[in-house]
Amino acid sequence: MSKSTPSAPIYDSSTRLLHAGHEPKEFHGFVNPAVFRGSTILFPNAAAMRSRDQRYTYGLRGTPTLESLERAIDEMEGSAGTILVPSGLAAVSVPLLAFLSSGDHCLAIDSVYGPTRVFCDTVLKRLGVETEYLDPHLGADGLRARMRDNTRVVFLEAPGSNTFEMIDVAAFCSVAHERGAVTMMDNTWATPLFFRPLEHGVDLSIHALTKYPGGHSDILMGSVSASAGFIKTLRDTQMALGINVSPDDAYLVYRGLKTMPVRLAAHQSAALHLAQWLESRSEVARVLHPALPSFEGFDLWKRQFSGASGLFSIVLNGGGTPAADAFLDALRIFGLGYSWGGFESLALESQLNDRREARAPAEGPVIRLQIGLEDPEDLMRDLEAGLEAAASVQSAGR
């Protein structure tokens, strides 16, 4: 689908996705891959064992089931290879470990997923890697000013977690590459159906498959997809760390991918509908949704992304934590929970006090909403009850 028509259907990539990663002819016509469980894989003779000259050698190193999922993701991302890891957070930590060494400097967007920051500020710091955070609003020029001779990794996430700041991904990557740094991007929000980072110069595209690919809130998994020059180091590190995923989990994510295009289309339209309605409410100071023309990063989103998923935030019009609590406690359909990308709607108050540079909204508490697959009109009534509860606290504080 063309980048200039964000609301057009997602046929081309979804058709590819439906048939990616598995060849029924190789599996007696079965349209889905088999679940191969196993640590041990036998060799026919000593010479084959010595040379490891066969496609599968040991469960950790790959099975046909894991390969089906890896290939499907490669097809969507346009990558040379994909590794699977047991969580989205591991899909952040493994590539950082693969490409950073003691004495290196890492520059990350200041609105990265919180646990990404914790990994950088604890494990990487202990290993002698310094991480600095960059306000995404400073753009590629801001990045250029902060690059050092030892900056080895530039870590991007767009839109940013909780506050959804957008960046010009290609411009950031070209600055990073001018100085010889590796670029990584957490692409979980958009999925490769709405954004393909490698086409914009990103070297490693990261996903929490836990979210939309799994889609049913019953699985944790992550993936890292690399362009040709980076897959070997990435896979060698994965194997050195002894990390892979179970075939049963991989099968579930593979199955989830088949319905991801229709689920995402529903998440997208319900979220946009509710975001527009929320903009009209006096209890809401601002809606942070990249596909709203009123949003600061709208033009960047429209130029680069071909759709929007179902996660966005609202900034309440004052009232502090009591208003946030009143809003959350009044909800009956929205659950209070952390993960997202599943079938069910969720809400939480975003904690933004770990930001070093990026401005957190000042008007009031930030509530992150994951719009699930329930009837949007029911969700609207639920949010209305939340806003009315917040309003009683907001007016008491005026």
Ligand X SMILES: Cc1ncc(COP(=O)(O)O)c(C=O)c1O
Q: Among residues 68, 111, 151, 188, which is the contact residue for ligand X, using CB under 6 A?
A: 188
- Residue 201: C-alpha distances to residues 25, 101, 157, 167, 304 (Å): 35, 23, 14, 13, 12
Q: Are 284 and 315 in contact (CB under 8 A)?
A: yes
Q: What residues contact residue 380 under an 8 Å CB cut-off, 6+ apart?
A: 274, 277
Residues 334-353 within binding reach of ligand X (CB under 6 A): 339
> Based on CB atoms, which residue is closest to ligand X, 190 or 331?
190
Confirm or reject binding of residue 369 to ligand X (CB under 6 A): no
DSSP 387: H
DSSP bridge pairs for 107 = 132, 154
Tell me the closest approach of the beta carbon of residue 88 to ligand X, in angstroms: 2
Query: Judged by CB under 6 A, which stretch of 5-13, 83-91, 224-232, 374-382 contacts ligand X?
Result: 83-91
Output the residue with the shortest Cβ distance to ligand X: 88
Tell me the closest approach of the beta carbon of residue 105 to ligand X, in angstroms: 22
Confirm or reject binding of residue 87 to ligand X (CB under 6 A): yes
Name residue 345's amino acid. S
Confirm or reject binding of residue 88 to ligand X (CB under 6 A): yes
Residues in the chain: 398
Q: Which residue has the tokens 């929205």?
A: 334
Binding string, 209-248, against ligand X, x = CB under 6 A?
Answer: -x---------x-x--------------------------
Tell me the closest approach of the beta carbon of residue 188 to ligand X, in angstroms: 4
SS3 15: helix
Query: Judged by CB under 6 A, which stretch of 27-35, 57-65, 85-93, 272-280 contacts ligand X?
Result: 85-93
> Based on CB atoms, which residue is closest to ligand X, 68 or 161?
161
Confirm or reject binding of residue 186 to ligand X (CB under 6 A): yes
Q: Of 79, 108, 91, 84, give the one whose Cα is nearest residue 230.
A: 79
Q: Among residues 89, 175, 245, 275, which is the contact residue for ligand X, using CB under 6 A?
A: 89
Q: Are 77 and 196 in contact (CB under 8 A)?
A: yes
Q: Are 343 and 322 in contact (CB under 8 A)?
A: no
Euclidean distance between CA atoms 221 and 148, whole angstroms:
33
Binding string, 286-305, against ligand X, x = CB under 6 A?
Answer: --------------------
* Residues within the interface to ligand X (CB under 6 A): 87-89, 113, 161, 186, 188, 208, 210, 220, 222, 339
